[in-house]
Structure 1
Amino acid sequence: MFYQKGENKFGGVLVMVRNFMQVKRVECSLPNVCVVDVKSEEEIRIVGVYASESRSWNWQQISPLLSENCVIYGDFNVDLEQDGSKAVGLLNWADSYFLAPFTPDNPTSLRSNRVIDYAFSNSAKIDIQTYKGNTTSDHYPILSVLSTKIKETVKGQTVHWKVFNLVTEYTFYFWEKYWSLNNLDMTYNDYVQFLRLLSARCTIFFPLSKYRVAIPAELRSFLSYVRALSFRQMRTKNIELKNHVRAFDMLWHEGCIGKLRQMGIPLAYTEWIKAWLENRRGYIEINGEKSRWFNIEKGGPQGGILTPTVFISYHADMPDFLSWCTSHFFADDLAAILAGQIGIKYSKQCLDLEKKLKLFVDQLEYYCLLT
């Protein structure tokens, strides 16, 4: 956040920047003028201006602050179409430094039908428009998009989890009382927003080349605390999936060989795999006592890489049956990611997730019957 003091109690310019962006402030002694350099692949200089009628400086004094890739945003107090000589003077100065004006289509002043908030740029094209929502100012806010390339790998981030945990401990009794006295959905939304803002406040950014990413113990402890608080309010439990059957031991030989042939694997290879899977026998030994020999009609030999490879090839078409969710398959373990709707009440989110989980289980059961 960068601030430049104004010339009266209502003046001043504030420039706020996202944490992950590299920004350097440029020295400027002019009141109501704030200048920053954004460090992207092409450095961009952004100048924030509030040009009041009673300002003590003129446009020529801003000229030394301009660069080859520069954008000027602000309240210029000049309508380029209606203000005659004032507009001509501003445009002549802009033309001398190859600055093109970019104005919104609608008026920006609530007091008159004038466009006095806009931008100048000597490089890229700017998209700019007025915001028609609520405002406490006598101007409509303007929204602008400036295209540039930011090096995403320049910065990493970490969270001060000890500070995060300390704040949550201080606010524990407040939230405990808040959960009990207020609407469950509203409280859930407020609590999620509180955690999001707190984590953003405790986050710092740093060059990735100097740090190694790690998952701190404080995070695991805090997740346990959140789950405990959630269970006390009778929230929906997490779902735990367990592996009750060894999938390798349940491999269907005939179905596997048939699918491998459909995939175009040469006959010689499929016959060799068939001979490797079939005609196997085994026995069970307990305390030195051996059972009789019995035939093994399913599964594959353990301890090598061929059985997992055959198993994965056999189930390679599983994502086609689960195409509406994100699935990850490793050996005989399956993980599926399902996302609920956003922007709705927590209770409706739970119902939506229940429907999606039921659909997932039904489709997985259907696939298992086919294979």
Structure 2
Amino acid sequence: MLEIITALCFNVRGLDLRWGEVCLLVKQHLSNIIVLGEVGRVDIALISAALSNHNVFYQCGENAHGGVLVMVRKDISAVRVSCSLPNICALDLQFDQTIRLIAMYAPESKMWNWSDLTPLVTNCCMILGDFNIDIEQDGEKADRLLEWMDSCCLEPVVPDSNTSLRSDRTIDYAVTIGVDLTIQAYEGETTSDHKPLLGVLVGDKTSTDEGSRTIWPVFTLMLSYIFDYWEKEWDTESYDITYERPSIPPNLVKILAQSRSLSFKAKRKGDIELRKEAHRLRNFARFELKNFQKEQLAKQLKERHLPGEASRLFWSKTKRHFRQVSSSLRGFLSPSGEIIKDSQIMADMPADHYEGLFETPVVMRPHPYVDAPPVQWENAEEPIPMVTYPEILNILRSRKKKQSLDIHGLSPFLLDKILQNYWHLLNDTASKEKSGVHSGSN
């Protein structure tokens, strides 16, 4: 049975600092294979407890900041391959054809050469990690790496964008032989100076597991498969999406114009009330416009198979995401084990699935430490003792705020509240009291 395997490769530069970020990426992308480089200190017990459905493999680095960590889903048989090189962890993934996975972190000061990896390379192998070499920009270092790759018949699999956030270089990628692997850089926010890599490969696996999973690369292949069909059936007229698109209702156009006019007027006059009114109108217009767009999208999805302007507009927009590639999709395998090869059913199944998927989108913006383990207190099991009412009163009386007064019973806080025009009265009073004290002593 064909199985889609997702991989996550990430140079974390300290796993203890970015453990929460790794957990969020794994949960979001359902990663089957996780390769982490430059992990530093590692708590294997904590990792095994947090990702209990993965087997954990660790190889130490040349110093305290290095090290490679590999986690493989438990239903994928993984066997450790003996390797004494630091920052190198080799595994054999057991499918119908064994795939050799070599997880790697290659710092500038590495103690080994590329030729030391040659005994680990097989005819079905992929090397994944941080190479610290841009094969297009790094001159002699890139030439030496490419020569070794040629000697082992390896080919690079490089993402379309740079992976280093400190420089415009692509230093995180993969090299493969006999493995159909595609990777791309994760463009979301990260606290590391390396972008995470998301990879997809296909493995033949004999399994009795049932279920369904949605994989975007499969959906992309499906669009490529039906590209010619939609070219003939739907795009029969010249259609410019830049100018021919649904118009905004006149009432929303009027509100947007009023908000824009009030904004310019408030900026010119500096009137705060006008600015507040313009802000209120702008928020109201945005809310109504968003609701209108949701209604239009729901209408287009509902009428996508019916003749008319709605379906024409929907498929003209969708066509921009079609790609013509040299690939073939033989069919869909349903959870019941039935193989579906009918092109119409194959087109309807993902369309219906994503229609339901996009009806109620859920946006998650978790805190970076949301996946941190809870604090375990030593005395959590001890009962809380009972406190009597007199004890509470005694504590409150003991913590009563002390007053700071001078010799006349006046506090600095009270003096700050008296106007300076009346301070001369205090001076006269103090002088009289002082003279009275001296006369009394005489």
Question: TM-score, normalised to structure 1's length?
Answer: 0.42
Structure of larger gyration radius: 2
